Amino acid sequence: MKHLTILVPNIQTANSTIACIVGAYQIFTGANSYWEKKGNKPLFKIETAGVAEESAFINGLLTIKPQINISALKKTDLVLIPSLNPEFKQAMEDNMVLINWFREQYKNGAEVASMCTGAFMLASSGLLDKRSCSIHWNSADNFRSLFPEVQLKTEKLITDENGIYTNGGGYSFLNLLLYLVEKYYDRETAIYCSKIFQVEIDRQTQSAFTIFTGQKSHGDEVIIKAQQYIEDNFNEKISVEDLSRKLAIGRRNFDRRFIKATGNTPIEYLQRVKIESAKKAFETTRKTINEVMYEVGYSDVKAFREVFRKITGLSPLDYKNKYNKDADSMLSD
């Protein structure tokens, strides 16, 4: 029988930490139960593990008593790291014990998966350096500043690389759990868990949930001015060459500094600002696709659709139908 360890941290936890712990325990217990009903032996022994006798959550409203102290757990096959406080600054002493433990387990053949902002703890181990990682879009800027060696993929719902798994934010950790159930058990068991727990299976992207706000905590005042200009004038024709000239900086240097500060090229940033405005229009108004397209500065329907789909994962019409309560009356757009 394999061993599954669900970590119970007690430093820098968040309200969502307990949801990840309980959700993981429930889904894998359900998978084990279904697996047995099909005539198999349970695949996993499932245990919560920590370094304290109990961990308190939600200002002491709830506590979890780990079933085992990690000092007594010498070997495991799969480690699940729950979400943490997104203001995570450093691996504090108690969490460092957990980090050192799962790093050693990975070296000995275990696989490791982080749920949402649990990626901060996973990245602190160094195991994510030069590897892909997904995380909640709202924590991306802070994560990039702390772990520049990690290849952040905020558009992806799940990453799977060399026995290390990460996933996007919120309750999408449930999709990661289904992914792992399918990988360790089989497709049939994953579908069963999907139906029992009513979690949509096979979601691949979190792009449609992203709210683009523009990273401005980088400290480069020239680039902040450029960002503000783009945001104030996105519906007009903006020349990056003219903008760099306006800011008295060479085009090549401007592009380099813009990418370093925001994670996007100036053109990508402009596209994201335009599409964010279009998304809000689709969500809150009865305007047609063409009306919104012209308002955000596009004149080519094909180009608008391609950029919109690239950023959100949906066509403009699909997005509109998904998020606007009056969508049924607008299907003819």
- Bridging pattern class, strands 78-81 and 111-114: parallel
pLDDT of res. 16: 86
Q: For every residue of 199-215, which 3-state class applies, written as one string?
A: CCCCCCECHHHCCCCCC
Q: What percentage of the chain exceeds 70 in pLDDT? A: 93
> Which CATH code for domain 221-330?
1.10.10.60
Say which CATH architecture domain 2-207 belongs to.
Answer: 3-Layer(aba) Sandwich (3.40)
pLDDT in tens, 172-225: 899 999 999 999 999 999 999 999 999 888 766 666 666 677 777 788 899 999
Neighbours of 38 (CB within 10 A): 11
Which has more confidence, 61 or 48? 48
User: Where do the domains of the chain lie?
Assistant: 2-207, 221-330
DSSP one-letter string for 122-151: HHHTTTTTTSEE---GGGHHHHHHH-TTSE
Place 332 in a pLDDT band, splitting at 50, 70 and 90.
Answer: very low
Angstrom distance (rounded) from CA 319 to CA 305: 11
